[in-house]
Chain A
């Protein structure tokens, strides 16, 4: 079975439908599947629910799907960097479900691991706990959170081999592995596809069993907040 596709549109062919749930990797603009997001914009798929830690910025990343009104609902932990997002949210056009960051990561991990729910003390005694089942373990309250199984996972990795084994780079790993595992289907975009055998099996971050389609492309990799120190003379 061939997993490598010639471009992002081809890699998504037949997988998109209106009203679907998409899990996306990335933290801020770091490690986001920018090519697949652009291809979903071009495909025009509507009424999307997107589980992603952030919502991109205006004009880049998931911000592109917001501009075209393709997103019905976001499941995120932090959305502060996107003016169009805020405009749609405050006007009631866009639904937003805030998840604590670790709860979102674990919901994706659990969904991919066949765990429909788990108990966490994150959010106990806050608005996050409202309407959720509470269980006491050893004198401490925990709330029930549910795993997420996405119709499609879109992720970005550094390198893939043709079997779908993935290696990520530095903090661009972030939500990509848990998002990948949460998908019934997972499409990955990478900077480089290396030959079979070129990746040391001991250093693979995500095994190819989770990866169904791969596309290689050129990434802009935009920096959101450039901070530096001066070279000492």
Chain B
């Protein structure tokens, strides 16, 4: 079974040289720590920046330089800034090759739910709906099951959707699955996880 960092490391294998990529909040943010050697990717922050750098050193934080999680960050030699309309023009326009995002539920047809639990405090979708509708490829990184052991990889999402048929690949603590016609296809199992374990933890249809 993979831990958070191993899931992020596995997700980093999805990156390709030259890609512009948007990383969501949580485990997806950790992907930046595992970008493979020899691969150049440019990270987009949807509040208006390409070429996102690491956190600043103590004392050099700049209130005018934050990421979409409102964390202080730094710029890189290739950094460019732009306004929110242009930021989402490049997202909606398909210029961002891939988004790696967290999720509450994913369904076998690629439906994604990651913004709202009815009856609980709703903070908003932020840029998630625009990202999943616009980017070239959507990779989800999440735990395979809930704290109560229920599968989060479902036949149909029960929560309100962020996007319909938008997910391409799911990376969980148990393995990697692709959304294909008819259901999900197992790409690989995490270390120490058998295919039987993965199937048992998955409610969605698995096709061969």
Q: Which of B81, B124, B128 contacts A171 (CB 8 A)?
A: B81
Q: Which of B45, B85, B121 contacts A105 (CB 8 A)?
A: B85
Report the minimal beta-carbon distance from B11 to chain A, rounded to whole angstroms.
21
| Size of the chain B interface, CB-CB below 8 angstroms | 53
Question: By the criterion CB–CB under 8 Å, are A98 and B124 in contact?
Answer: yes
Q: Which residues does chain A contribute within 8 Å of B165, judged by CB atoms?
A: 125
Bitwise, A33-68 to B at CB < 8 A (1) or not (0) is: 000000000000000000001000000000000000
Cα A174 to Cα B46 in complex, Å, equals 9
Question: By the criterion CB–CB under 8 Å, are A223 and B160 in contact?
Answer: no
Stretch at the interface among A24-32, A194-202, A207-215: A24-32
Question: By the criterion CB–CB under 8 Å, are B130 and A100 in contact?
Answer: yes
Question: By the criterion CB–CB under 8 Å, are A228 and B126 in contact?
Answer: no
Question: By the criterion CB–CB under 8 Å, are A227 and B55 in contact?
Answer: yes
B71 interface residue (CB < 8 Å to A) = yes
- Known A170-B62, A222-B63, A225-B70; contact A123-B133, beta-carbon cutoff 8 A: yes
Q: Which of A218-233 contact B (CB under 8 A)?
A: 221-231
Stretch at the interface among B87-95, B141-149, B195-203: B87-95
- The contact size tier of chain A is 35 or more
Report the minimal beta-carbon distance from B98 to chain A, rounded to whole angstroms.
17
Specify the chain B residue showing the minimal Cβ separation from A103: B130
B162 interface residue (CB < 8 Å to A) = yes
Q: Which residues does chain A contribute within 8 Å of B123, judged by CB atoms?
A: 78-80
Q: Which of B149-183 contact A (CB under 8 A)?
A: 160-165
Report the minimal beta-carbon distance from A188 to chain B, rounded to whole angstroms.
14
B43 interface residue (CB < 8 Å to A) = no
A interface secondary structure, majority: loop
Question: By the criterion CB–CB under 8 Å, are B55 and A229 in contact?
Answer: yes
Q: Which residues does chain B contribute within 8 Å of A123, judged by CB atoms?
A: 129, 133
Question: By the criterion CB–CB under 8 Å, are A173 and B48 in contact?
Answer: yes
Question: By the criterion CB–CB under 8 Å, are B47 and A106 in contact?
Answer: no
Cα A227 to Cα B63 in complex, Å, equals 11
A76 interface residue (CB < 8 Å to B) = yes
Q: Which of A86, A105, A109, A158 has most chain B Cβ within 10 Å?
A: A105
Q: Which of A103-158 contact B (CB under 8 A)?
A: 103-106, 108-109, 120-128, 158
Report the minimal beta-carbon distance from A137 to chain B, rounded to whole angstroms.
13
- Known A122-B130, A126-B164, A224-B70; contact A231-B58, beta-carbon cutoff 8 A: yes
Q: Which residues does chain B contribute within 8 Å of A121, judged by CB atoms?
A: 92, 133-134
Q: Which residues does chain A contribute within 8 Å of B73, judged by CB atoms?
A: 227
Question: By the criterion CB–CB under 8 Å, are A227 and B72 in contact?
Answer: yes
Question: By the criterion CB–CB under 8 Å, are B66 and A106 in contact?
Answer: no
Cα A109 to Cα B47 in complex, Å, equals 15
B40 interface residue (CB < 8 Å to A) = no
- Known A27-B84, A106-B88, A121-B134; contact A225-B69, beta-carbon cutoff 8 A: yes
Q: Which residues does chain B contribute within 8 Å of A124, judged by CB atoms?
A: 133, 163-164
Question: By the criterion CB–CB under 8 Å, are A106 and B72 in contact?
Answer: no
Q: Which residues does chain B contribute within 8 Å of A173, judged by CB atoms?
A: 48, 81-83
User: 28 A-B Cβ contacts within 8 A?
Assistant: A30-B70, A76-B124, A77-B125, A79-B124, A80-B121, A80-B123, A100-B126, A101-B84, A102-B129, A102-B130, A105-B88, A121-B133, A121-B134, A122-B134, A124-B164, A126-B160, A169-B64, A170-B49, A174-B84, A176-B83, A178-B83, A223-B72, A224-B70, A226-B71, A227-B56, A227-B61, A227-B73, A228-B57
Q: What residues of chain A have their CB less than 8 Å away from a CB belonging to chain B?
A: 27-31, 53, 76-81, 86, 90, 98, 100-106, 108-109, 120-128, 158, 168-178, 205, 221-231
